[in-house]
Amino acid sequence: MLAEKVYTLCKKIPSGKVSTYKEIGKALHTKAYQAIGQALKKNPYAPEVPCHRVVASNGSLGGFKGKKSGIEIEEKRMLLENEGVAFENGKVNLKKCLYRF
C-alpha cells in the first residue's frame, strides 16, 4: 500500500531536514504526488511519522492537518523552525535542508 511506504520513508527524514512530495515520489518510483499528500494528510502515526517534514518542491509548506493555510500551517512552520529548518523569503531553504532518500 502506498500510504505505508510513504510513512516508512517519512520516518527516515531527520530532525532539521525536510523532504518533498516529489522526492518521496522519486524514491517510490511514482508521480502520484497528490496521493502522497493524501497519505500524509491521513497520517495515523504522528508524531512518530513526522509528516510536517514534507514540503512542496518550491520550498513552500504545502499542507498540514488537511489545511493549506491558517493556524495549521503556522504550526507546521513552528515545528520546522524549532527543529532548526532554515527559511528564506517565507519558504524552506531547500539548499540547506533538503533530505534525499
* Residue 42's CATH number: 1.10.10.10
Task: At 99, list the grid cell.
Answer: 533530505
Tally the domains of the chain: 1
Q: What is the pLDDT of residue 1?
A: 86
Which residues are annotated as catalytic?
51
Its domain, for residue 30, covers 2-97
pTM of the model: 0.94
Q: pLDDT tens track of the chain, all 101 residues?
A: 899 999 999 999 999 999 999 999 999 999 999 999 999 999 999 999 999 999 999 999 999 998 999 999 999 999 999 999 999 999 999 999 999 99
Among candidate residues 51, 39, 52, the one with its CA nearest the CA of residue 1: 39
Residue 50 φ/ψ region, left for φ over 0, alpha for ψ in the -120 to 50 degree band, beta for the rest: beta
